[in-house]
Amino acid sequence: MERSDVRATAQFLPFKGTRFTHGLDGRCAPPYDVLTPEQVALWRTHPENITHVDVPLPADGAHPYDIAGERWQNWHATGVVRTDSRPTLTVVTMTFDDARGRVRSVRGVIGAVTLNAGVQAHERTTPKASTDRLDLTRATRANLSPIWALSPAAGLTDLLHGVEMTSTVSLDGVQHSVGVIDDDELVGAVCALVSSRELVIADGHHRYGVAREYAAEVASLRGVDATMMFVNELVADQLAIDAIHRVYPTMTADEVLQRLGDTADVVPLGTVDPSIIDRMDAEQAMCLIDDRGEGYLIRIVPSAVRGVRDLDGAVLEHLLGATDVRYEHDLNSILHGALPSGSSAVLIRPVGVDEILRTATTGELMPPKSTFFTPKLATGVVMRDVGAQ
């Protein structure tokens, strides 16, 4: 029996969704953690945009979280948002062009997942000192943006295939199509399938931790023992995973090469352009970039990393040891953003679905910032008022 078969699983449940009364256009926004204050100001030109509540800013006043909570209650009182009369599930399909220009779609379902067991991280997380999400949850008593999780349970995509999409909204080139499942039989089938296997968090590790902390604070609050989650099937055609590259702000390319020593075969490349990603895939290699934009193809000698997990991030951790590292998803900012003098970067390859599935079945975590799941889920498609459940 596989280890995953004997682990406790979380319950996946329908919930009474809170939705914008007058549609999604102008009201949804990208997740809070990818927005700058300047971008928030643009989204807030619509008086009912979710960022008015989901992204409290110091400019809002002396107590921005209290203001967000008051605005959320006012939206309920004035009919900006309404809460469903009965529990449902919400299906979301994201259609987009991936990094290679191919049209892709990801379809999953938003429900409530119990917090007692059955959800695990897929990578080690970096600590966050800010209490932002906890303060916001305290003020609103709501889950405003879904955590994204992956299910190894086969057949979820097929179950969701026939759900009618009744509304759409486009954000940053991604079309989000939304439908509601209120048929008891289908709701039961989806919930049973998702609840049958342990879930793996793709995006939202911090929010999951906050949900558990908040549940411990207000254990008597109805509905606090679960949190809102988007779940899609852990299969290749339902995932688009980009790499998060490594930037070494205090280490030059020469110093990186010295540390690697004879563990790597190095090929000088000259000036590097985005086509390097295809070459890295073809040659199973990484690419070191210096502060002039010059590159070096790096092939690690297998004997030097025997016993190390076959992930570029894990290999770099092993070979370079403890060092100051920053994380950058945007390839162009590395190639054309002129790395600061004395710094360097290593471009790595995306993690494959097989490695994420391995995490789901063994519990072995990847290094921090190993994956960047795209596209990003829209905030505002559906919300979950904790006490209304």
3-state secondary structure 270-289: EECCCCHHHHHHHHCCEEEE
User: For the chain, what are the domain ranges?
Assistant: 3-241+372-388, 244-349
Whether 106 shows a pLDDT value over 70: the answer reads yes
Give me the phi and psi of 184, to 5 degrees please: -60, -40
Residue for token pair 């303060």: 135
- List Cβ neighbours of 36 (8 Å cut-off, separation of 6 or more): none
CA-closest candidate to residue 348, choices 291, 297, 294: 297
pLDDT, position 4: 41
Q: Which of 47-51, 244-248, 279-283, 346-350 reaches the highest mean pLDDT?
A: 47-51
Closest among 19, 146, 136, 143 to 71, alpha carbons compared: 136
For all residues of the chain together, what is the average pLDDT? Answer: 89
Assigned token pair, 74: 């006012």
E-strand stretches of 204-353: 226-233, 240-242, 245-248, 264-271, 286-289, 294-300, 326-328, 344-347
- pLDDT, tens digit, 9 for 90 and up, residues 340-368: 999 999 999 887 667 776 766 666 666 66
pLDDT of residue 5: 45
Task: Give the chain's length.
Answer: 389
pLDDT tens profile 258-294: 999 999 999 999 988 888 988 998 999 999 999 988 9
Mean pLDDT of 80-91: 98
Distance CA 233, CA 239 (A): 8
Asked if residues 113 and 119 have their Cβ atoms less than 8 Å apart, the reply is yes
- Helices 132-140 and 64-78: angle between axes, nearest 10 degrees: 40
| Residue 342 falls in which region: left (phi positive, over 0), alpha (psi -120 to 50) or beta | left
- Report how far residue 10's alpha carbon sits from residue 8's, in angstroms, rounded to the nearest whole number: 7
Q: Average pLDDT in the 3-23 region?
A: 84
- Paired with 90 in beta bridges are 110, 180
Please say whether the beta carbons of 236 and 353 come within 8 A.
Answer: yes
In this structure, the strands spanning 372-374 and 142-143 are unpaired
pLDDT in tens, 298-338: 999 999 999 888 888 889 989 998 788 888 888 888 887 67
The dihedral sign for the CA sequence 148, 153, 154, 155: negative
What pLDDT band is residue 2 in, cutting at 50, 70 and 90? very low
Average pLDDT of the segment spanning 225-247: 87
Render pLDDT for 137-154 as a digit per residue (tens, 0 to 9).
999 999 999 999 999 899
